Structure 1
Amino acid sequence: MTENYFTTPEANVCDFPDLNGNDEDAEIECTDQCTFGELGRDEHIEVHSSIIEEFESRLTIGQTVKSAGDAYLLYCKYAHAKGFSVKKGDQRCFPHTKELQSKDFDCSCEGVKDERRSINRKPVYQKPITRTGCKARLKVGREWGGEWKVTKFLMEHNHEMVASGQVHLLRSSHNISHAHKSTLEAMVNAGISPTTAFSYMESEAHGPQNLGFTRKDAFDYLDRLRRKTKIEDGDASALLQYFIKKSNKETSFYWSVQMGDDNRMMNFFFRDYRCMIDYEYFGDVVSVDTTYRTNRYDLICAPFVGINHHKQNVMFGLAFMSDETESSFEWLFSTFLESMNGKQPETVFTDQCQAMMNAVGTIFPCAHHRLCQWHINQNAPSHFGSLNGDSRFKELWYECMSRCDSEEDFEAKWRIMIDKYNLTSHKWLNGMYKLRRKWATAFSNDKFSAGLLATSRSEGTNSCLKKMGDRTISLYNFVLNYEKVQENWRAKEKAEDTRCRHGKPPMIVKNNPLLNQVAKVYTLNMYHKFEEELVGSLSTAFELYEVGDFLVKFKATSHGPNSRVRRVVFDKHKCEVQCSCHKFETMGILCKHALKALDFMNVGFLPESYIKKRWTKNVRNRVPYNESGENGSGHVSEMVFVNQIMRSTYDLAMRCKVHEETRKMMNENLESSTRHANSLFEKLNLDVPNTCDDLSVDDDNDKINEVVVRNPLFVKSRGVTNARIRGHWDAKSKKITKGTQRKEKCSQDATCAPISQEATDIQSSDYMPGYSRQSGSFTAQFDTNRSYSPLPMPFATTSSVARDPNNGQFYMGGQTTYVYPFGAHPLSQN
């Protein structure tokens, strides 16, 4: 009697009676390359038996195999077809060598459990007993320099075989292919959870039985992948190892690590090649915010952030600091300056920390230092007391902060506020007055700031990083997350560049010569800002009050509330215009008052001097550069090649699956390509060496002989957390959840104070006692053919490890400096 078996569209497996003679049903894999119509039980068993017989003929005694590894794979295929699992048994090497002489492969049921190990203890997890003393075995061996041959093949088992629908669960049937590994790794690196990634791969394979590995295998592989980056000396050494590999791959990658005298990591900074290029174009304004902590060591996260020509965030580098002392900030800023070839920014925004202010003045003497107005406004109400309810006082305070056009105007309004409310002895306000040049806009009207008033750019960066990490994340993983954020920002900039180059903005005023001119040069974002100013000039009242031989002076008043009289001066000889609002000086585009003056003077174009290059579409065209900064080899990278081949092969397979002839043709071609590739591998001697380790689990052979660098200590200072600082009037700040209240504590050597006291403590702390950059330094040269252990640093309070991108040398700096030729550093590969 013949039974009918068929597949349905909803299923990818077929139910067959058990092939081992049992009454239970069993599942076998059904792919697009096989279709079952009417297939009888006897015919199916005959086909299955022929496959087993074919394997057995290839494993008979005396048959040659390519290697012990090939014998293992062949035996696993035989075991998969028959229904048992394989384990690796004893092996033997030739005397006094590591060359394999013989290797055993046993049935997983070989041997018996040793009961003596668990006689006096109760295991937490009792594993089922699977060993039955099975004698089934394959043994291969060879003579010295000879071929591998099958020397023993025992086929009899003393246990029941596994049903065909369950063989994919046997351990020796599990195998994660390179294609699956790369897919799994790419999906997890893209932010997809391992569970979701595995579910997708199951769906793509039409069921777990067709995938070739289990969920646990996938998780174990990802865990091994993570462990490869975790060397036994800890997170700090793993991070240094990553920096060295990155610097070997990217010639202009810069990193520097400062360590204490106990070789414990204290501070580190790094930036890639693109950061240096971005700083060259947009490094006029730099924002540094140190009020977030998003790592397991509670280190201070300090991103260096700027603004590109699309008004988007751009990264200049990232640092982590263990404390907020003046010496640490000086190290950080000097390291940043060195990585950028000594180019100083025009304006630096920071939060209000006395140690940081002192360091900025020392390292960036040419830069204008600005304090974050947002932090000041959030902190101010806690010092005003009953004055918080006085609207006139608050109006005077905000006018002093950002609504004064000149220093004289600020002094007058400040005096009115102090005298009216009798605040002459107010400690906090007196401290803020001493710092007025760092926060009041009246003292920075002639300094370019790209329109910034706060460190919100750095805070936005920290917000992005916070989403990809928490207080449990390691430094190594945090750096990887940072690079993902950085890549995302750069992709957005590329997309915006494309929009600007291949699109024209819609003009609110047609055929306007000024708009036509700026539309060709400005980015879309800056064009819209310019257009707003031009439209605003239409609602600006203009009064001519003085005309000279060269200068023409106007008074401009905008319609609407809170409008102020602006004074505009136009130079007819130089075709220059100046406005008391100083928008061009601080923002880089002309204000509506200046545009009104140009229109009044019949100037139908924008003078070239008023088109700031940093806001133009072609700002990056001034200097050609390689975006990656990698060592150019002229070859496509391995992963790019693999992805291209996988994509093209998959597309071809999907086209060939519908016809028997095309499936057969593709299988034959793949087998032919495999044979040719194996022949080429043999010709090029690319085979895996026949040593005692050739069957061991793959390990990371690229380990670096590293200096033992200890992980950072868990530190706290200034009482900051990984949450955004909340203001006095923020309702949420009054709600304290259990377990979230943290003590405010400065590190013992910190020179900063809580924010409420920083403004009054304006005296500079002493430079690091007993430390001088020039004193006690020497250079030691090393033989590149030798390896070196960590060098003692008896004279250095702190030291740093860095790599010079110009000559590839590693050096350790501090009071004592060591210079390592590239390739001979204890952290680099021999």
Structure 2
Amino acid sequence: MLCSHAYASLWMPPVLRMEGSSSVIEKNTDDGLQEVEEVSDVNVLTPIAGMVFNSEKEVFEFYNRYALQKGFGLTKRSTKNGDDGQLKYYSLACAKVGKYVSKAKNSYNPRPSMKTACKAKINVSVSSERKFTITRVYLDHNHQLSPGKSRFFKRNKNKDSSVKRKREENEQTEVPLCKNSHFIVEAGGYENLPVTGRDCRNYIAKAGQIRLGTGDAEALRNYFCRMQKRNCNFFYLIDMDGEGRLRNVFWADARSRAAYESFADVISFDTTYLTNKYDLPLTLFVGINHHGQTMLFGCGLLSNEDTETYIWLFSSWLECMGGRYPNAIVTDQCKAIQVAIERVFPCSQHRLCLWHIMRKLPEKLGGLSHYKAIKRTLKSVVYESIEVAEFEESWSRMIEEHNLDKNEWLNSLFTDRQQWVPVYVKSTFWAGMSTTQRSEGLNAFFDGYVGPKTSLKQFVEQYDNALKSKVEKETKADFASFHSSIPLITGCHFEKQFQEAYTNDTFKLFQDELRSMLFCNLVHLEDDGPISKFQVTDILRGKDGKPKRQVIYNVFVNEIDHELKCSCHLFEFKGILCRHVAKVLLEKNVAEVPPQCILMRWRKDVKRRYTLIENCYDDFGNNEQKLRYNTLCSHFHKAAEIGAQSSEKYVFLMKSVDEMIDKLISDINV
């Protein structure tokens, strides 16, 4: 067995790096993380009253550079024209100016808003000589600023000329592009690309079938060496047989390892690519971040699907994660995996993926004469049982009515019922990882990058692009939660608590519970000292929105220990306060929920360590020449656009470039 991983790094002095109109200080920390601190750039001036400009464009470009550095967006406000129709006065304000007024027809589901009534702005007056003077300046914002995410503001999404040109070249040469094209990387990476993924998809052609490739072993070795050069915390293990032949491989990059520290509560072990339509024998360790998005915690390539192989893989992953067990783990229904988990993760709660089990119904029961009736009954028993006794009674009745007592698969499911039936597992936290949508999301982690007949060499080439797209998606969600908020739908203060604390995606889930309170009826049963007991009748509805049945839940409120509990166990299962508890809080006129009801893992204001690891998946870290080349190309494209505007600019630029080329060739004064 070969092993290569590192747990320490040499200290390096801070390095000042200039990036456009801003500068940052990079620091290599003891654990291999790259910390980034923003530094004020002397080239970007702070606006002050009395500054004079020659055009409206100059004013905007000046203030926009300042806004980019500080981390806020711009909008034009309070425009006033004179009697002659000429512009006399206007303001450039922070994009969060004003108050939100919903114009949506469906107020039941309002759109996010960025408005915070921010007062930051500059006032500009225009003289009769067409001079633009800043008359008043308001610099203070009533919200946090995020310089690192300025590119997501609407006015900063202009596509760079080098990106446009690369896209045009790809179209002309009919280069097949994957879901997130290579030209994104060549433009300097996501963090330097002034467009979002949705913008890019408008320019990217659909990829065709990926052909089989050769050189898999060499590609894998080169990838591991490249990743360790970028960050010494990259981890991999290679398992060889007695004759020196490759059997199994496991790896996890530095960012994935650091992310596990924040989201070690629930992981899913996904073998989709090992068992489905893909030839690639790939297994994934996947988790859920604070937006409910999937995160990768490691990959494995396996030569076999027996217990011994899974024990090796799980042990390798556990070593990679510093011996920290996951609180809970979700897997497919596989005896070899179950045995391996019992040995390697004895302290973890193990659950079988409900979606994987239910999708096997046609395969396991499709040949039975009353298959449709059995399927309908089985789904009702699994999804609609509220109590354990109710499930077991309904299951026994189903087995008896359809003469299924000798069906081995159903018998095995009943034996393992505590590991997959919702009524048994709802008291454990699973971050909501049980729905069909979530399962499909996990299985599709590399969709768009891995297809039928994908070779290992091709997968390695696409691996970085796939993970970069995940990082970009999370960055966009962070930006949305940081700079916009979902409008409140009730007048209760505790809704605002969750709005201010949780990410937008998580807050939407809580608002879904608030909407469902409309179908709940409350009865106060009794008070036993500090403990109050309530009974909430919930009218459950089907997919068509029509009432399906009534279910009674019990809610307990302990005012001394500040505990809120409901028999539906939604909070224990998903970390979201349920509608039954919310109904009681409204009845008791509670202003704020206890701190323990707001989980840290869903908060948007937590600084998580893994976000400090920058450019983990970029190829430029080990290819300085390529980085310099692409940076120069970006600047030259911009210069060419300006130089082509007039003959004078063209002549000046050509002369300057020719002089620079002569100096570079002769190495004079360079």
Taking structure 1 as the reference length, what is the TM-score of the superposition? Answer: 0.51
Task: Work out whether 1:314 is the aligned partner of 2:280.
Answer: no
- Which of residues 642, 647, 651 in structure 1 aligns to 2:629? 642
The answer to whether the 8 Å contact 1:371/1:454 transfers is no
CA apart distance, 1:630: 9.2
SS at match of 1:311: coil
Taking the aligned partners of 1:306 and 1:634, their CA distance within structure 2 comes to 27
> 3-state SS of the aligned residue for 1:292?
helix
Distance of 1:644 and 1:476 partners within structure 2: 28
1:477 equivalenced with 2:455 (yes/no): no
1:335-367 Cα distance to aligned partner (Å, 9 max, x none):
111111122112211111111111111111111
**Equivalent in 510, 529, 537 of residue 557 of structure 1:** 537
- How far, CA to CA, are the matches of 2:278 and 2:577 in structure 1? 47
Tell me the number of residue pairs that the alignment of Structure 1 and Structure 2 aligns. Answer: 467
Partner amino acid, structure 2, of 1:482: Y
What is the one-letter code of the residue matched to 1:545? L
Deviation by residue 1:725-784 (Cα, 9 ceiling, x = unmatched)? xxxxxxxxxxxxxxxxxxxxxxxxxxxxxxxxxxxxxxxxxxxxxxxxxxxxxxxxxxxx
Q: Which moved more, 1:377-386 or 1:293-302?
A: 293-302
Deviation for aligned residue 1:468: 2.7
From 317, 326, 351, give the equivalent of 1:345.
Answer: 326
Give me the whole-angstrom Cα distance separating, in 1, the residues matched to 2:323 and 2:172.
44
Partner of 1:452: 433
Counterpart amino acid of residue 336 in structure 1? W
Alpha carbons of structure 1 residues 191 and 536: separation in structure 2 relative to 1, 3 Å: farther
Q: Deviations over 1:632-672 (max 9, x none)?
A: x9999544433332222233233334555544443333333
Residue among 484, 506, 513 paired with 1:526: 506
Amino acid at match of 1:242: Y
Aligned with 1:485: secondary structure? helix
Instruction: For 1:81-160, list aligned pairs within 5 A.
Output: none
Aligned counterpart, 1:270: 251
Distance 1:198 1:428 in 2: 45
Q: Is the 8 A contact 1:351 1:455 kept in 2?
A: no
1:603-622 equivalences under 5 Å are 603-621=590-608
% identity of equivalent residues: 31
Out of 480, 488, 501, the residue aligned to residue 482 of structure 2 is 501
Contact 2:266 2:326 in 1 (8 A): yes
8 A contact 2:230–2:621 mirrored in 1: no
> 2:242 is matched with which residue?
261
Matches within 5 A, 1:563-582: 563-582=550-569
Unaligned runs of 5+ in 1: 1-182, 200-225, 685-830
1:577 positional shift: 1.4
Whole-Å separation in 1 of the counterparts to 2:230 and 2:621 = 14
What does residue 740 of structure 1 align with?
none
**How far apart, in 1, do the equivalents of 2:370 and 2:622 lie?**
66
Alignment counterpart, residue 285 of structure 1, candidates 266, 270, 275: 266
In the TM superposition, residue 273 of structure 1 has moved relative to its aligned partner by 1.4
Contact in 1 for aligned 2:235/2:252 (Cα 8 Å): yes
Partner residue, 1:654: 641
From the superposition, tell whether residues 678 and 553 of structure 1 become closer, same or farther in structure 2 (CA, over 3 Å). Answer: same
Give the aligned residue type for 2:558.
D
Q: What is the match of residue 521 of structure 2?
A: 541
Matched, 1:667 2:629: no
Q: Residues 555 and 354 (structure 1 numbering): CA distance in 2 closer, same or farther, change over 3 Å?
A: same
Letter in 2 for 1:195: T
Contact 2:229–2:622 at 8 Å: present in 1 too?
no
Largest Rg, 1 or 2: 1
Which residue of structure 2 aligns with residue 626 of structure 1?
A: 613
Q: Secondary structure at the match of 1:545?
A: strand
Which residue number in structure 2 is paired with residue 333 of structure 1? 314
Please state how far the C-alpha of 1:259 moved relative to its aligned partner: 2.1
Aligned residue for 2:420? 439
Matched, 1:242 2:255: no
1:234-257 C-alpha deviation (Å, 9 max, x unpaired): 421331122112212222111222
Q: Which runs of 5+ in 2 are unaligned?
A: 1-161, 178-210, 540-546
Aligned ranges 1:421-432 → 2 under 5 Å = 421-432=402-413
Superposed displacement of residue 449, structure 1: 0.8
1:712 maps to which residue?
none
The answer to whether the Cα contact below 8 Å between 2:564 and 2:581 also exists between their aligned partners in 1 is: yes
Q: Which moved more, 1:366-375 or 1:259-268?
A: 259-268
Distance 1:192 1:357 in 2: 48
Counterpart contact for 1:294–1:466, Cα < 8 Å:
no
Cα distance, 1:296–1:634 mapped onto 2, change above 3 Å: closer
1:192 Cα offset (Å): 5.2
1:295–1:471 CA contact under 8 A, matched in 2:
no
In structure 2, do the counterparts of structure 1 residues 388 and 340 end up closer, same or farther at CA, with 3 Å as the change threshold?
A: farther
1:587 aligns with 2:565: no
Structure 1 position 276, deviation (Å) = 1.4
Change in Cα spacing, 1:659 to 1:246, as seen in structure 2 (3 Å) is same
In 2, Cα distance between the equivalents of 1:325 and 1:634? 39
SS of 1:564 mapped into structure 2 = strand
- Give yes or no for contact 1:281–1:620 (8 Å, CA) kept in 2: no
Alpha-carbon distance, 1:297 to partner: 9.6
Separation in 1 of the partners of 2:276 and 2:334?
21
Structure 1 position 456, deviation (Å)? 5.9
- Change beyond 3 A, Cα 1:387–1:593: farther
Partner-residue secondary structure (3-state), 1:315: strand
**Partner SS state of residue 557, structure 1:** strand
Instruction: Name the CA distance, whole Å, in 2 between partners of 1:449 and 1:272.
Output: 24
Separation of aligned partners in 1, 2:577 and 2:351: 23
- Separation in 2 of the partners of 1:374 and 1:677? 63
CA contact (8 A) 2:486 2:499 kept: yes
The answer to whether the Cα contact below 8 Å between 1:349 and 1:454 also exists between their aligned partners in 2 is no
Q: Which amino acid aligns with 1:551?
A: I
2:343: which partner in 1?
A: 362
CA distance in 2, matches of 1:540, 1:386: 40
After alignment, is 426-435 or 333-342 more displaced? 426-435
Q: Is the alpha carbon distance of 1:403 and 1:291 closer, same or farther for their aligned partners in structure 2, counting shifts above 3 Å?
A: same
Shift of 1:536: 1.9
Structure 2 vs 1, CA of residues 345 and 193 (structure 1 numbering), >3 Å: closer, same or farther? Answer: farther
The residue type equivalent to 2:495 in the other structure is: L
Give CA-to-partner distance per residue, 1:520-543, whole Å, 9 cap, x none: 111111111111212322431111
Question: How far apart are 1:419 and its partner, in Å?
Answer: 4.1
Equivalent in the alignment of 2:497: 517
CA distance 1:555–1:192, change in 2 (3 Å): farther
Secondary structure of the corresponding residue to residue 529 of structure 1: helix
Once the two structures are superposed, the pairs formed by residues 221-232 of structure 1 within 5 Å of their partners are none
Counterpart-to-counterpart distance in 2, 1:389 and 1:452: 28
How has the CA–CA distance of structure 1 residues 550 and 622 changed in structure 2, closer, same or farther, with 3 Å as cutoff?
A: farther
Aligned 8 A contact 2:259 2:609 in 1: no
The question of whether the paired residues in 2 share the 8 Å contact of 1:349 and 1:455 is answered with no
Name the structure 1 match of 2:444: 463
Residues 271/473 of structure 1: CA separation in 2 closer, same or farther (3 Å cut): same
Asked if the contact 2:492–2:586 (Cα under 8 Å) also holds between the matched residues in 1, the reply is no
Cα contact 2:223–2:460 (8 A) shared by 1: no
- Give runs of aligned pairs for residues 367-378 of structure 1, distance below 5 A: 367-378=348-359
Q: Greater share of strand residues, 1 or 2? A: 2
Tell me the equivalent position of 1:768. none
Give the direction of change, closer, same or farther, for the CA distance of 1:623–1:484 in structure 2 (3 Å limit).
Answer: closer
Instruction: Please say if residues 467 and 617 of structure 2, whose CA atoms lie closer than 8 Å, have aligned partners that are also in contact.
Output: no
Contact 1:381/1:388 (<8 A) preserved: no
